[in-house]
Structure 1
């Protein structure tokens, strides 16, 4: 048995996990002791590891394999009995949650920077998911961070690297490493939720789609499920081979970065349906022919049609959405007579609601949708849910969404991202907004009902989360929301969310940037965006 070595170390500053773990540049993680310090802090913070099983995998980005070898040797030194690793080090974030839950492991370590670019000069990330399969709650991430600030040593064994490409079990010290098929368990779960027969029949009848895996982790999952199991023609999956640098692309499934897909879905001869997923497989973008579905509308439409999917035939227990997500799902929940929950951004906030049976479908406007089948958002799940609805209803994406608007009204919605702005300027902008008292003020044609800094008290465990985004809500229900994103690695990303409810079906066709033009101007002026950041236009509009 390999000897356990105790390596002296000193703390690094800034190892505080954000909404989706710790994200830094690869060169930061590649520093001696940096990854090891964080992993040891995780192991020191989650309880007795003796005899336990851990799941490990990632999105295949640069540094993924190197980091996994380090984690395996540290897990062996820390007393784990077994580590399950996706073949090739590959494991999508929702698939990791699936495996953790199915095999009742002691949680898992997921290596991903999600939708951020990959490569030697780009981003890397790591997070711990708890035994329920979801991201660690704040009490655990705070304990991990506290431990990183006082760590003085870590444990590791000296051993040769483990073969990650051959399925099977092998020893590492006194621990077993099981390399498993990363797709099989997840595909089996999807088949239990959706009507694969109806979807197969649609493809056989000529239904056409394109799925852009963006050279990220979902390529193998989409190829196996869409092409091999559902009979979609070969080539349905675009950019399906995971690459360490995502093919020099930005694996963020939005209208800007998934431009190949947007182009493919444009014009009379385009496929019926298009979808994309991100770096680690937890986000999605949904398109029809010449038609974009906002994530907020996607959640609402899927919730309204949930009973068409076998796994949800009994209906939903509730719908949860992040605060910046539009209120479109709330209107569906009201009609169904089920609760609508509003949480901070971050999938971990849905976990307690799902575990308590208070919600079934969840979604975030940042291209994340999912259900209680796992404890992560799930890009391919959303794609399959849409395929199920399309196969049963036999209507186009545009027809389904516009019919939904006629029934519920349209929450016209847009998000403006200002990426890579100076962090101090961004913080100053938010402090400026926090200091405003606007109730009763007239801004353009709108009267302010209230403004606040959103705070959330979890209805299950009573935990409180403050400073979750600035809201300015108008008397007609329109609103603008300002929030700093926690997923970047350089500077700050200011996200501005603009929303207005439109009941008039004759105006549902309007482009959101046109329909929201007055609110967009109000938001920019209110936050003094140009004066404080130097930016005259957003980096990305969705």
Structure 2
């Protein structure tokens, strides 16, 4: 553990270790650790050049917005990327004064630029491993639509980067960092003011201001830490940032459930510091290091992400009159079916997708998807006038929405979930468990079809349907989901970034039924 919290070792390994794994883009770009040889300078050189080649091939000639978060590997990777981009004459906008940049701000800046510049479109890169441990690094590409790159784009970048690595990086253009930073193609820009000034287009800031509610915020040492004071000053919010530390070891973080340091704002273990202070505030929240996730803390504790998404949708569908009627609510198929019940209660459509925020991008751009979210506490929604806000997850607006909900209704989101949604739709018990997965099990999952499962019941309930594709876009889910007659379900899929299996279960019969489903689910799929 000491080695993995040694920032000097983490950074020196970035420049010195040999590659022990090729470039691999999962659902959120390329991730790895310099200590393992899976994220180092050679990877980032190759990825950055591959991205330049992709831009040239697809005639993307506008600026590239480049940002990084507070992980130890993010600044070294930022410098490497800028060296390559400048050598390739890419116009790059970076946050002025060496300021950190949250993921949703990169999405916002891309969309704002492209709103008025149609001929030379902008794109962006955010260097972050999200909520992962301090020794990890990550590199994500957002094309001109502002959201996560789809598989066709990431396949090109991945293959081209690995070609460059196999050729010992001989095809890479690069100049020294000092020269790249001062190059005519590198532009420092204020990313904070445009984003903060536009927040009133998506959040009812005046209602929050008038309510005078007391807000507690733990940025968890993340990239959005210097956004909260400008937000408070502009809109007159009563905000207290309870932790203003930037520490690349994240030593202030309580260990997560497995003893690792992980800045997961949906984990009650990682959020323990803010939960202890919950009763001091009317509403509180935390965000992960790149601010694309949110963790909502009410005086009675941390909300389950699925519960908060359900309340957010319930509230927005009643308080955004300009959204219109012909819209859908997007959700990943492993998110709670409480969301389905809420949406159907308003006679709206559900757009259900596989895991990955990229599936929502086109619907957000077209204003057809008003809100979309993932069970892992990532979501975004449209501006009040129905126009697109961001096409990537935005932890700022989901957190501020919790304050708006309290200010407008007089109830916390947890009170609304308990007193309104549960009383109307029931009380599902939802939990995900992770475990190891064998190559044989991966093969079985990839070959499973609805017809290959012959059972008609599970845990004493009838099997209503079996899915290997999402209902919203008919795309493969990378696993299987089994729906039961009382609304309960389970889904199994391999992780896209780690050698493990994810088993999601939601029971409408409490924890006892959840356990029965858990005990029978693996046997149903793998015939153990």
Note whether the superposition's TM-score is higher than 0.5.
Answer: yes
In structure 2, the residue matched to 1:26 is 34
Matched position secondary structure for 1:219: coil
Counterpart check, 1:178 vs 2:187: yes
How far residue 264 of structure 1 moved from its aligned partner, in angstroms, is: 2.2
How far residue 322 of structure 1 moved from its aligned partner, in angstroms, is: 0.3
Counterpart check, 1:498 vs 2:493: no
Distance (whole Å) between structure 2 residues aligned to residue 310 and residue 452 of structure 1: 33
In structure 1, the residue matched to 2:277 is 264
| Residues 406/367 of structure 1: CA separation in 2 closer, same or farther (3 Å cut) | closer
Counterpart check, 1:398 vs 2:414: yes
How far residue 37 of structure 1 moved from its aligned partner, in angstroms, is: 0.9
In structure 1, the residue matched to 2:217 is 211
How far residue 100 of structure 1 moved from its aligned partner, in angstroms, is: 0.9
| Aligned partners of 1:98 and 1:186 also within 8 Å | yes
Distance (whole Å) between structure 2 residues aligned to residue 434 and residue 261 of structure 1: 44
| Residues 423/37 of structure 1: CA separation in 2 closer, same or farther (3 Å cut) | farther
How far residue 343 of structure 1 moved from its aligned partner, in angstroms, is: 0.4
In structure 2, the residue matched to 1:58 is 68
| Residues 82/35 of structure 1: CA separation in 2 closer, same or farther (3 Å cut) | closer
| Residues 197/520 of structure 1: CA separation in 2 closer, same or farther (3 Å cut) | same
In structure 2, the residue matched to 1:155 is 172
Distance (whole Å) between structure 2 residues aligned to residue 295 and residue 413 of structure 1: 13
* Paired positions, count: 483
| Residues 316/94 of structure 1: CA separation in 2 closer, same or farther (3 Å cut) | farther
In structure 1, the residue matched to 2:205 is 196
Matched position secondary structure for 1:349: helix
How far residue 403 of structure 1 moved from its aligned partner, in angstroms, is: 3.4
Partner residue of 1:241 out of 226, 239, 245: 245
Counterpart check, 1:117 vs 2:133: yes
Partner residue of 1:518 out of 509, 513, 517: 513
Distance (whole Å) between structure 1 residues aligned to residue 247 and residue 440 of structure 2: 35
How far residue 307 of structure 1 moved from its aligned partner, in angstroms, is: 5.7
Matched position secondary structure for 2:199: helix
How far residue 355 of structure 1 moved from its aligned partner, in angstroms, is: 2.2
| Residues 496/162 of structure 1: CA separation in 2 closer, same or farther (3 Å cut) | farther
Distance (whole Å) between structure 1 residues aligned to residue 391 and residue 111 of structure 2: 9
Matched position secondary structure for 1:468: strand
How far residue 333 of structure 1 moved from its aligned partner, in angstroms, is: 2.5
Deviations 1:124-178 (A, max 9, x none): 0101101111011111111112223323433334334279xxxxxx741xx3322
In structure 2, the residue matched to 1:251 is 263
In structure 1, the residue matched to 2:140 is 127
| Aligned partners of 1:195 and 1:310 also within 8 Å | no
Distance (whole Å) between structure 1 residues aligned to residue 426 and residue 233 of structure 2: 34
The range that moved more, 154-163 or 433-442, is: 433-442
Deviations 1:306-361 (A, max 9, x none): 16656966577220100000122222322333221000111000012222332110
Please state which structure has a larger fraction of its residues in helix: 2
Residues 42-57 of structure 1: matches in 2 within 5 Å?
42-47=51-56, 52-57=62-67
| Residues 324/307 of structure 1: CA separation in 2 closer, same or farther (3 Å cut) | closer
TM-score (ref. length: structure 2):
0.82
Distance (whole Å) between structure 2 residues aligned to residue 311 and residue 288 of structure 1: 27
| Residues 147/311 of structure 1: CA separation in 2 closer, same or farther (3 Å cut) | farther
| Residues 60/311 of structure 1: CA separation in 2 closer, same or farther (3 Å cut) | farther
Structure 2 alignment gaps of length 5 or more: 1-17, 115-120, 254-261, 383-388
Distance (whole Å) between structure 1 residues aligned to residue 148 and residue 60 of structure 2: 22
Matched position secondary structure for 1:155: coil
In structure 1, the residue matched to 2:25 is 17
Matched position secondary structure for 2:276: helix
| Aligned partners of 1:61 and 1:124 also within 8 Å | yes
In structure 2, the residue matched to 1:330 is 340
In structure 1, the residue matched to 2:495 is 485
Give the CA RMSD over aligned residues: 3.2
In structure 2, the residue matched to 1:320 is 330
Deviations 1:53-84 (A, max 9, x none): 11000212112222122211211221213433
| Residues 221/311 of structure 1: CA separation in 2 closer, same or farther (3 Å cut) | farther
| Aligned partners of 1:212 and 1:237 also within 8 Å | yes
Distance (whole Å) between structure 2 residues aligned to residue 26 and residue 202 of structure 1: 47
In structure 2, the residue matched to 1:41 is 50
Distance (whole Å) between structure 2 residues aligned to residue 220 and residue 344 of structure 1: 34
| Residues 379/390 of structure 1: CA separation in 2 closer, same or farther (3 Å cut) | same
Matched position secondary structure for 1:71: helix
Structure 1 alignment gaps of length 5 or more: 1-9, 164-169, 459-463, 503-514, 534-542
In structure 2, the residue matched to 1:276 is 286
Distance (whole Å) between structure 2 residues aligned to residue 532 and residue 418 of structure 1: 19
In structure 2, the residue matched to 1:4 is none
How far residue 532 of structure 1 moved from its aligned partner, in angstroms, is: 12
How far residue 209 of structure 1 moved from its aligned partner, in angstroms, is: 3.0
